[in-house]
Structure 1
Amino acid sequence: MSRIQELFKEKNKEVLNVYVTAGYPQLNSTLTIMQSLEKSGADLIELGMPYSDPLADGPVIQASSSIALQNGMTIKKLFEQLNGFRNTISVPVILMGYMNPILQYGFEKFCADAAAVGVDGLILPDLPEFEFENEYGPIIKKHKLDFVFLVTPETTPERIKRLDALSTGFLYAVSSSSTTGKDQNMDGVSAYLQRLQGMGLKNPVLVGFGIKDKASFQAASQYANGAIIGTAFIKALEGAADVAASTEQFIRSVK
């Protein structure tokens, strides 16, 4: 059983997954923020690998990616920083990113290096289902990494079932067909989440996009196993003199 599966076995309500861009706000902030996230009560950490053209990300996360790239963050640098992180961090860690820089790094090498440092899974929004099944999925599985697909309110029931069958760890329910960071009407989202809840999916469901505070986190968690917060946390780190203290303050405000 993977760390992610163990997490959901122990806790299946109000699971908090927090997204942070690696190398933001400073190049060497990442590990400090991760340690503070765990200490403050985050259940899962989603590390964004900065990319110049992040299709699913809104302006705040795009800006954090640009700053991280300017700071000198690369996949190679990230793995160097993550080397030994399991000595201080026990919560599951997922890498979220896009195929282009991973293919440049070498897909098999990327999966091997991610597994070697203690990463638990991947979210790659631009990896299509067909290519996953026929080319990349077996490599991901070989290195014992979980893989998380995204579904939206427009995804057909048949396709939701298919992506649920292919996913391991959890299913990422995008609250709307927009980019990250947009405010959501949680009443409208609730109907969609109730629909997912009634489908008998094999994976737990975490809701992302538009979750920003205690109220939206609890509303999202009502019909799902928990939620993902990204943009609001990136905003909380912006200009932070002490990233550990800012992280702790933000997580405590949500939990």
Structure 2
Amino acid sequence: MNRINQLFERKQENLLNIYSTAGYPQLESTGEIILSLDKAGVDLVEIGMPYSDPLADGPTIQKSSTIALQNGMTIRKVLEQIKTVRDQATLPIILMGYLNPVLQYGFEAFLKSCQEVGVDGLILPDLPLYEYETHYQGLFKKYNIRLIFLITPQTSTKRIRKIDALSNAFIYVVSSAATTGKQAGFEAKNIAYFKRIQAMNLKNPILIGFGISNQATYQTVCQYANGAIIGSAFIRMLEKSQHIERDVVAFVEGLNVSTVAK
């Protein structure tokens, strides 16, 4: 069974998914960050494949991607790095990126490589739902890779139901129409949106991302979802870090994950 599905079988509340850009802050930082997050008790790790023309990334993650590309990060390199630490890391590993580099790599070849190195899921925000359903769904099944879809406050109920029907991991609930790293908290309209999704009783777990940066925002979204995704705040921490393992553990401890109200 895929590690993502195994995770949700044993845990349904207060999950924490941390995003980190591959090759940032240093080219060889990726493996150390994955292992440090695993040691800190994070439930999933989302590794960003840096791309020069992102759609949803805010300035913090864009900057980290630019530095990672300058460091020499490539898709092949991040796959090699994951392979190196996969036997030591127990948590599910998700790759997040954009379609063009994957197509250049070769779609099936990429999925095969992901399976070989131990990647469990993919987030490709610009892969159309129709294209997945008609052209790629069978390949994801063949290589036991889960595709995670995003929904936003503008996503129609019909489309959410369609995404839920096609999904077999979790659904990434984008908290607002802004890019990553823009929000400092949640307004009433955000909470109303979370409640609307929660009331739909989707078959897949949901994780909320965008705008979660501290204990308060993490605790808020965990009231309405199975967990949270934190990206920009983690990248900002790495930018200042002098000791990755120590600072990663401190960052996770600062969220007080274990004390979130059930």
Normalising by the smaller structure, the TM-score range is: over 0.9
* Structure 1 residue 80: Cα displacement: 1.4
Displacement of 1:188: 2.7
Q: State yes or no: 1:225 paired with 2:220.
A: no
Aligned counterparts of 1:197 and 1:241: Cα–Cα separation in 2: 40
SS at match of 1:87: coil
Conserved 8 A contact 2:94-2:123: yes
TM, length-normalised to structure 2? 0.95
SS state of the match for residue 215, structure 1?
A: helix
Q: How does 1:28-107 map to 2 (within 5 A)?
A: 28-107=28-107
Is the 8 Å Cα contact of residues 186 and 216 (structure 1) preserved in structure 2? Answer: no
TM-score w.r.t. the length of structure 1 is 0.97
Deviation track 1:102-145 (CA, whole Å, cap 9, x = no partner) reads 11111111100001111101000000011111112221121110
CA-atom RMSD, angstroms?
1.0
Which residues of structure 1 form unaligned runs of 5+? Answer: none
- Counterpart residue type for residue 172 of structure 1: Y
Mapping of residues 1-255 of structure 1, within 5 Å = 1-183=1-183, 184-254=185-255, 255=257
Pick which of 8-17 and 83-92 moved more: 83-92
Give the AA of the match of 2:237.
A
Residue of structure 1 equivalent to 2:260: none
Distance 2:37 2:119 in 1: 16
C-alpha displacement of 1:84: 3.6
Q: SS in structure 1 opposite 2:45? A: strand
Q: For residues 189 and 70 of structure 1, what CA distance do their matches in structure 2 show? A: 36
- 1:247: how far off? 1.0
Distance 1:157 1:79 in 2: 36
Check 1:186–1:42 CA distance in 2 against 1; reply closer, same or farther (3 A cut): farther
* Equivalent position amino acid for 1:241 in 2: Q
- Seq. identity, %: 54
The Cα offsets for residues 66-100 of structure 1, whole Å up to 9 and x where unpaired, read as: 00000000001111112242221000110000001
Shift of 1:200: 2.0
CA distance, structure 2, for counterparts of residue 186 and residue 116 of structure 1: 43
SS at match of 2:19: strand
